Each structure stands twice: as C-alpha cells, then as structure tokens.
Amino acid sequence: MRSKLFVPASRPELFAKALASAADALSFDLEDAVSPERKLQARADLRALLASNKTLIVRVNALSSPHFAADIDAIARNGVSLVNLPKPEHPDDVRAAAALEAAERANGVTAPIACC
C-alpha cells in the first residue's frame, strides 16, 4: 500500500470523493473524528458504503468505550479489509478484539477482516 486516505465516518458527503481518489486504501474513522451524538448515524452511513474495490480500513472506538461493540457490529461486513484498534493499553485489549470474529460469523462475512 502506497497511500492511505483518512475520512471521518461522520462525513458521508466525502465518501464518493474518497472512493474516487488515487489512494490505495481508505481509513474511515469512527473514533476521534466523530462526536458521540453522531456515532449512530456515522455507523449507518459507513455500513452503506462497504462495497468497494478499495482497501477499506475502519478505526473503531476504544474497547473501553461504550461504542466499541456497536462499532464492531456495524462494520463487520464484506468489503472491510482491516479494523484499527485505537490506543490499546494492554495485550488483553487486542485479544478482546476476538469479538470481531463473532460479528463476522453473525453477519456472514466471507473473507476474514484483519485487525491491528
């Protein structure tokens, strides 16, 4: 991957422009770029976008936040290539991302989503 474009998930008006860009990957941010009152709508907008030929990366809210589980459920879909976990503070935080595997199964994801 040569280039990655970061896009706030709360700005769906930027999605088409991002998809049309020359960037090799797009990273949609559900964490810092989205205020708490806009997270639900941002998840819905992002879920609608997930069919693309770009490498799609989603940065979810921290495991300790009240938004983590809803983020994982919303983005565990075919079309997402990678999930970024923000600010893991302990190895158990990374292990807990196993919730992604359960969400993949529940949502019928056919290709495993990478996590980092």
Q: Return the domain boundaries, the chain.
A: 4-115
Distance of CA 50 to the CA centre of its chain: 10
Query: In angstroms, rounded to a whole number, what is the distance separating the alpha carbons of residues 22 and 99?
Result: 32
Torsions phi, psi for 44 (to 5 deg): -65, -45
CA 85, CA 92: separation in Å to the nearest integer? 12
Q: In whole angstroms, what is the distance from residue 56 CA to residue 63 CA?
A: 20
The model's pTM = 0.70
Q: What is the pLDDT of residue 107?
A: 93
Q: Report the pLDDT value the prediction gives residue 52, as an integer from 0 to 100.
A: 63
Distance CA 100, CA 75 (A): 9
**Domain 4-115: which topology?**
TIM Barrel (3.20.20)
Question: Could you list the pLDDT tens digit for every one of the 116 residues in the chain?
Answer: 889 999 999 999 999 999 999 999 999 999 999 999 999 999 999 888 876 667 889 999 988 899 999 999 999 999 899 998 887 888 888 777 788 999 999 999 998 998 87
CA distances to 74, 91, 93 from 47, in Å: 6, 28, 24
